Amino acid sequence: MRGQFKPNPQVVPNMTIIPGLFSALNNRVSGKYYGILGGSIYTSTKGLIADRLYAFPFFVVKSETFDRIAISVSTEINPSAVRLGIYYDNGLGAPAALLLDAGAIDSSTTGVKALVINQLLLPGLYWLTMLTNGAITVTAYSECIDLTGIGSSSYISGCTNYYTPQAYGELPNPHPSPDSDILSKAPAIALRRA
């Protein structure tokens, strides 16, 4: 018997129209930037620590190509740089194999910094990453909640994000075991839909 107590099952990635939360993921527009899921619309700033690899969840519900990866620098350190990339998920809610090392942006000046990429992402969970050699400040989500199903240790400001000590340089492959989750103000890293 179907109805109130036994609803029809839904397989989210294969639906043509996804009601509610995931509908925006199914309708990304060419030329627009998309960030981590669960970030608030209110922005703040977050200070990054040098030689720390940060990772943030990014959902894809249908095959899409992205042509930019970007952050916004709020307070610069001269000289400094941030390396950006994408990792696959390990199937347990943490970054694993390296998919793309997009290269480094110069973070010695403020503003939006984007790298040109040409990356096809198939449906699934990915991890957008940044690694800096200086203590810069970037635009961040002021609050976020866990929407990955992985869980978080804080209700209001908890985000499913990770950081790991890592000497600045090329992104490691595979991603080292994450040490901790960031509990507030997730840095706003984004991909632009091609």
Domain contains 70: yes
Domain contains 45: yes
For residue 87, the model assigns a pLDDT of 96
Domain contains 2: no
- 153 band by pLDDT with thresholds 50, 70 and 90: very low
Domain contains 3: no
Lowest mean pLDDT among 69-73, 89-93, 114-118, 173-177: 89-93
pLDDT at residue 107 greater than cutoff 70? yes
| Section 165-194 average pLDDT | 84
Lowest mean pLDDT among 60-64, 99-103, 140-144: 140-144
For residue 42, the model assigns a pLDDT of 53
Domain contains 66: yes
For residue 143, the model assigns a pLDDT of 58
Query: Any idea what the CATH number is for the domain that residue 165 is in?
Result: 2.60.120
| Section 129-142 average pLDDT | 87
Which pair of structure tokens corresponds to residue 184? Answer: 């507030």
Q: How many CB atoms lie within 10 A of CB 40?
A: 15
For residue 23, the model assigns a pLDDT of 57
Q: How many domains does the chain have?
A: 1
Q: Which residue has the higher pLDDT, 151 or 184?
A: 184
For residue 22, the model assigns a pLDDT of 55
| Section 84-103 average pLDDT | 93
For residue 77, the model assigns a pLDDT of 79
Of the candidates 4, 30, 45, the residue with the CA atom closest to the CA atom of residue 138? 45
Give this prediction's pTM: 0.80
C-alpha distance across the termini of the chain, in Å: 44
Domain contains 181: yes
Domain hosting 148: range is 30-193
Domain contains 4: no
Domain contains 10: no
The residues, any chain, with a CB within 8 Å of residue 75's CB and separated by 6 or more, are 45, 47, 110, 136, 137
> How would you classify the pairing of strands 33-35 and 180-181?
unpaired
For residue 86, the model assigns a pLDDT of 97
